[in-house]
Chains A and B, each alone.
Chain A
Amino acid sequence: MISTATSNTVLKTGLRRVLGSRLVANLATPHGVDHYLEQFNPTWSLHEVRAAVTAVRHDTADSVTLTLRPNGNWQGFKAGQFVRLSVQIDGVRRTRCYSPANSVHAADGQIELTAKAHAAGFVSKYLHDMVRPGMVVTLSQADGSFALPDQRPGRVLLISGGSGITPVMSMLRTLCDEGHQGRITFLHYSNAARDVIYAAELAQIAARYPNVELLRAYASADQGGELSGRFSREQLLKAVPDYADAQAFLCGPPGMMKAVQEVWAEDGIADRLHLEHFTAAPIVAAAGDAGGEVRFVKSERLATNNGATLLDQAEAAGLRPESGCRMGICKTCTCRKVSGQVRDVRTGALSTGGDEEIQICVSVPVGTVTLDL
């Protein structure tokens, strides 16, 4: 058994060596080796992370949990990080960010992604309704600074809301797999018990690991949660009195995240709170800025600045720049601004007027802007 596995690995490394050689690259010019590998197996690639869907599960009515088997290019992830997942919907490639929810120690090397299908969620709805085992998706390598530090903290507080549960679920599972000795509090906010993804597993973990405390907060008290209502300082003090001693990891909807951040900031312990935004905050641009032109150099197009984000304006002009999260976290849309000033819609900060890389999904032009698109 072991020898078969070893010879398999040797074969795989050997094949990869040959396919990655200069000779093969020269034979495959100008299209590249991947172009031909695809013909034999859609997950084969020398560089790209592609994954086959091995299972599709619906834990709650509006969620979907995909189990993915990535190809050999996958370098693994840190608990809490996200990947960019690309699928083709109606002929168009769409990319969105999802955080793997599995333990980093999962023995089968598979990745588990959970998405909640929002009414307006184009990609999540597709994942929920259309994805079947056997389909192949494209992934990025894991990215993002929201992750368990390599030096695991002793006391851990995981706070999540709605589908923000996925990265902290990964943290919880990882810590449990490692036999973490410190106390872990898992505080999760949800409208109702039936909406909680991973509800059964969470209960199991809490029962099995005495150092794990599960606190479920539902909108109303009659739902049977340990807590009820929205996050507040009073609620936190009562439920997790030692929260200031913990390293806290937070992921949830904007309103909830803001409330939590405020408490940590007021206490002067903001450095102990680590967070991941996962839903787009409404983007409103001040109308006064709309003026001038947006110039797209590479594609030789020109648009009158209408005050929307550069990504929206580029798309309205018929361009298809790469993009992902559309909220400024995934950097997929990063592109070079040749000249002009932009405002960051998240912070209101103004950029310099010079040549620099910007994220066009969260930048609105202030006057005329020239992009290398």
Chain B
Amino acid sequence: MSNYSKLTPEQFQAIGQELDAIRNEVTADLGERDANYIRTLVKRQRQLEVGGRVMMMIPPTWPLGVIALSASKILDNMEIGHNIMHGQYDFMGDKAYSSQTFDWDSADTAKNWKQTHNYEHHTFTNIIGKDHDATGYGILRTSDAQPWEPRFLFNAPLNLLLATFFQHFVAVQNLHLEEVLIYKTKTKAQLKEEFKPVWKKMKKQLVKDYVLFPLLAGPFAPLVFVGNVAANLARNYWAHIVIFNGHFPEEVEQFPESVLENESRGHWYVRQLLGSANFSGGKLMHIMSGNLSFQIEHHLFPDLPAHRYAEISPRVKAICEKYGLPYNTGPFVKQALSTWKRILRLSLPSRTAKVNLAAASAANDAQEPLATAA
């Protein structure tokens, strides 16, 4: 039985109020500390980026340059871009840190990201059919509720492919390629139209990293080209593993669309709790993962500054204990292995037929989620 259906309506309501209280407390306290945090981080990222790009042009410092630019791209995408675009720093009233205007060093357009991620993924977290992330970005089989297809035999290699070109897959995620290529529910003309703004951004990123900066290096152009490939790869693999750790360890729950009927704030909170997983680590690990090591706290409060998650996590944990809910966390490697186990397991048809999305929806029982625990 799922943890979701163990709770009474009163308990859902109480959890909602207790989590709201945490949220209000942090919101009331927002100020200089948060502004200074993000400003300092942006400063460091800028130093790493400029330093990295320069060092890459000088053969002896090339390895340092690759490390610096990789770190810069990771910071830019995770702790800075992802979090600013969530509106975590909108309170500052500064355009440079505003969710309305910020853009990141990624092939994905800020507009598409905010649609698929901020709106769809964060509102409909782990609801099969509504959260495109939950069904493997249209590429993988990441849920028992996804009917098995022969292409999922390649789940593991496809996951590697997804990780390798993560920024580009994320960039086209909003286009739902699978609807054109596999299910034929979308026309090529439609796809072409939607791809235009994406290609505009992709092109800019490609020209910058693979044409302009190499040319600037003159005779060392190949070095810079390879260095930029390495930095983009490092960011892609890292972002992929962090994000997968947040939602695909085996114990994380997924839900049928029916849970959305009359979903209260308390229900929404509990769904976020059960649909996310943390991983442990030191301060550097938290910063480099954009504090998505606190994926649970992030999903409860996506628009609170992420550096606050560590501070509120003991209180979230206490609420979980109080209501007998799991607080899914573990070492980074353990969570990563668990996600790969799921990917591998799901490359074959699911053995237990208990998870059938259609059946769950037909039952129309808002209290019955899809338990994916094996």
Contact = CB atoms under 8 A, between A and B. Distances in A.
Given A31-B103, A36-B46, A93-B93, A88 B35 contact: yes
B contact face: mostly helix, strand, loop, or mixed: helix
Say which size band chain A's interface belongs to.
20 to 34
B50 interface: yes
Nearest to B46: A39
A207 to B, nearest CB: 46
A29 interface: yes
A92 B31 contact: yes
A108 interface: no
B100 interface: yes
Interface in A282-301: 298-300
A30 interface: yes
B36 interface: yes
Interface in A334-368: none
Given A27-B212, A30-B103, A91 B35 contact: yes
Contacts of A298: 100
A91 B92 contact: yes
A178 interface: no
A92 B207 contact: no
B32 interface: yes
Which among A23, A26, A320 has the highest number of chain B CB atoms within 10 Å?
A320
Interface in A1-36: 23, 26-27, 29-31, 35-36
A130 to B, nearest CB: 12
B334 to A, nearest CB: 36
Given A30-B104, A39-B50, A298-B100, A93 B207 contact: no
Interface in B76-116: 87, 90-94, 96, 100, 103-105
A26 B205 CA distance: 9
A35 B50 CA distance: 12
B219 to A, nearest CB: 19
Contact of A29 (B96, B119, B205): B205
Given A26-B208, A27-B212, A90 B32 contact: yes
B34 interface: yes
A29 B204 contact: yes
A115 B32 CA distance: 23
B33 A91 contact: yes
Which among B34, B96, B213, B216 has the highest number of chain A CB atoms within 10 Å?
B96
B43 interface: yes
Interface of B: 27, 30-36, 43, 46-47, 50, 87, 90-94, 96, 100, 103-105, 119, 201, 204-205, 207-208, 212-213, 216
The 5 A-B residue pairs whose C-beta atoms are closest, nearest first, are: A91-B35, A30-B103, A93-B93, A91-B32, A91-B31
